[in-house]
């Protein structure tokens, strides 16, 4: 029986974006088909995983998540280097937890120094992620952008309320911005338009659709991401043809389930459970169109890398 493989007709392409500087830049995006639909189109750059580093010692991490980073969690530079040297990180995502006004509330100058130290110590692309407090992020990320001029950092979250001031700094000091909206395709598009109008170059923008863990409403982010990809690839919506970044580590590792003990509530091995919650969350979001995943556990990352490799292996 002759059988013709049905193919989607694509009319658009995701923009290619180059992150970082020097020899170890990373290019993402460029897809011409739905994720892993290699029988229909191309994925010239495979999705990348950024390893998470906190700018202060984590206090409430599950044992399983802390264990791989024993001895370095109070030093972001050492932590970042360990990610690269021991776990082969492709990118680093520095989470500015200490700047949270409801937490340690560390100031912009001090924080920018820490970011600078990390940026100087590594040669792979660096993502710098604020707390989502618009006033504080404006203050901190503007300073970070200035102090790290020329590093082509990826900075976010840039939200509607702070996009002008953070966006302007990013343009001025040549960084890439993460446009962050709350699980809503219309708002995502709107913010991309606003940032474009402001002058953020198209190759300097990533979309953060706001994601959650499996078991905690991941279907919302999943469908928003599928719709973003559909709009970009089949409806020529230029304002949605940007790579997507998913900040998943914090979401997964704060869930109740990763903190349960071994076999509590019939949920098996605590460490493996945490790893699988994170890796499966990553898997689901990769299928919806993630280009960059921010992850925590080295073993979860290894599993996800294997899945990416096998989904894209030549036949």
Partner 1 sequence: MPLTGIEIFKLLPKTNCGECGVPTCLAFAMSLATGKADLSACPYISEEAKVKLEEASAPPIRPVTIGVGDRALKIGGETVMFRHEKRFENSPGFAILITDTMDESKVNSRLEKFRQLQYERVGLTLRPELIAVKDESGDASKFESLVSKAKQNNECSLILMSTNPDILVAGLKTCAGRKPLLYAATKANLDGMAVLAKENSCPVAVKASGLEELAELTTKLTEAGVKDIVLDSGARTIRQVFEDQVIIRSAALNKKFRPLGFPTIVFPCEMTDNPMKEAMIASLFVAKYGGIIVLSDFQGESLFPLLVERMNIYTDPQRPLATTEGIYEIGGPDENSPILLTSNFSLTYFIVSGEIETSKVPSYLLVKDTEGLSVMTSWAAGKFVADTIGPFVKKCGIEDKVKHHKLIIPGYIAAESGGLEEELAGWEIWLAPGKGLISQPILKRGNHKEEAMFLIGENINVMSKTIGPALKERNPKPIQELAKAEVVAGVDYLDLNIGPARKAGDELMEWAVKTVQEVTDKPLSLDTTNPVAMEAGLKVHQGKALINSISLQPDRLEQELPLVKKYNASMIGLLWGTEGMPRDANERCVLAVDLIYKANGLGIPNQDIWIDPIATPVSVEINQVTACLEFMSMLADIAPECKSTVGLSNISNGTPTHLRPYLNRTYLMMLMKYGLYSAIVDAFDSELTKIAKGEKPELVDLVHRVMDGEKPDLPSLSEEEVKYVKTVRVLTGKSLYSHSWLEI
Residues that bind partner 1 (CB under 8 A): 1-6, 8, 36-39, 101-102, 104-107, 214-220, 222-223, 226-227, 230, 254-257, 259, 263, 265-270, 272-273, 275-277, 279-280, 283-284, 287, 299, 303-304, 306-307, 310-313, 315
Nearer to partner 1 among residue 123 and residue 299 (C-beta): 299
- Pick the closest to residue 144 from 171, 110, 121 (CA basis): 110
Instruction: Check whether the bond before 101 is cis (ω within 30° of 0).
Output: no
Q: How far is the CB of 299 from partner 1 (least distance, A)?
A: 8
For CA atoms 205, 45, 16, 6, give the dihedral sign: negative
For the stretch 299-313, what's the b/e string if a residue is b when 16 or more beta carbons lie within 10 angstroms of its beta carbon? bbbebbbebbeebee
Nearer to partner 1 among residue 39 and residue 85 (C-beta): 39
Q: What are phi and psi of 170, to 5 degrees?
A: -60, -40
Contact 134, 161 (CB under 8 A): yes
Q: How far is the CB of 136 from partner 1 (least distance, A)?
A: 11
Nearer to partner 1 among residue 165 and residue 272 (C-beta): 272
**Residue 45, token pair as written in the block:** 């750059």
Q: How far is the CB of 258 from partner 1 (least distance, A)?
A: 10
Nearer to partner 1 among residue 70 and residue 266 (C-beta): 266
Angle between helices 185-198 and 218-234 (to 10 degrees): 60
Q: How far is the CB of 104 from partner 1 (least distance, A)?
A: 7
Q: How far is the CB of 64 from partner 1 (least distance, A)?
A: 11
Nearer to partner 1 among residue 169 and residue 210 (C-beta): 210
The 3-state DSSP composition of the chain as helix, strand, coil percent (nearest 5) reads: 45, 15, 40
Helix (H) or strand (E) holding 18: strand 16-19
**Residue 310, token pair as written in the block:** 């096998």
Q: How far is the CB of 138 from partner 1 (least distance, A)?
A: 16
Greatest alpha-carbon span in the chain? 69
Q: How far is the CB of 170 from partner 1 (least distance, A)?
A: 26
Nearer to partner 1 among residue 23 and residue 310 (C-beta): 310
Nearer to partner 1 among residue 63 and residue 120 (C-beta): 63
């Amino acid at each position: 029986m002759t059988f013709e493989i049905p193919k989607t007709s694509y009319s658009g392409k995701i923009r290619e974006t180059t992150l970082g500087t020097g020899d170890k830049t990373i290019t993402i995006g460029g897809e011409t088909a739905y994720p892993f639909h290699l029988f229909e189109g191309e994925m010239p750059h495979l999705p990348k995983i950024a390893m998470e580093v906190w700018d202060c010692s984590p206090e409430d991490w599950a044992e399983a998540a802390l264990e791989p980073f024993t001895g370095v969690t109070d030093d972001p530079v050492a932590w970042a280097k360990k990610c690269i040297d021991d776990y082969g990180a492709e990118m680093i995502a520095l989470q500015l937890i200490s700047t949270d006004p409801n937490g340690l509330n560390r100031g912009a100058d001090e924080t920018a120094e820490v970011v600078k130290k990390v940026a100087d110590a590594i040669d792979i692309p660096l993502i710098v992620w604020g707390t989502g407090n618009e006033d504080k992020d404006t203050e901190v990320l503007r300073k970070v952008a200035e102090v790290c001029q020329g590093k082509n950092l990826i900075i976010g979250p840039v939200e509607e309320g702070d996009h002008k001031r953070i966006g302007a700094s990013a343009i001025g000091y040549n960084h890439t911005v993460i446009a962050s909206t709350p699980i809503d395709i219309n708002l995502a598009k709107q913010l991309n338009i606003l940032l474009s109008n402001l002058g953020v170059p198209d190759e300097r923008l990533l979309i953060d659709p706001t994601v959650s863990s499996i078991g905690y409403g991941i279907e919302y982010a999943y469908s928003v991401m599928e719709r973003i990809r559909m709009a970009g690839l089949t409806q020529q919506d230029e304002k949605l043809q940007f790579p997507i970044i998913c900040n998943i580590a914090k979401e997964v590792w704060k869930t109740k389930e990763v903190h349960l003990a071994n076999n509590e509530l019939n949920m098996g091995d605590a460490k493996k459970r945490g790893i699988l919650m994170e890796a499966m969350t990553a898997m689901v979001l990769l299928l919806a169109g993630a280009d960059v995943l921010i992850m925590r556990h080295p073993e979860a990352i290894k599993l996800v890398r294997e899945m990416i490799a096998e989904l894209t292996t030549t036949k």
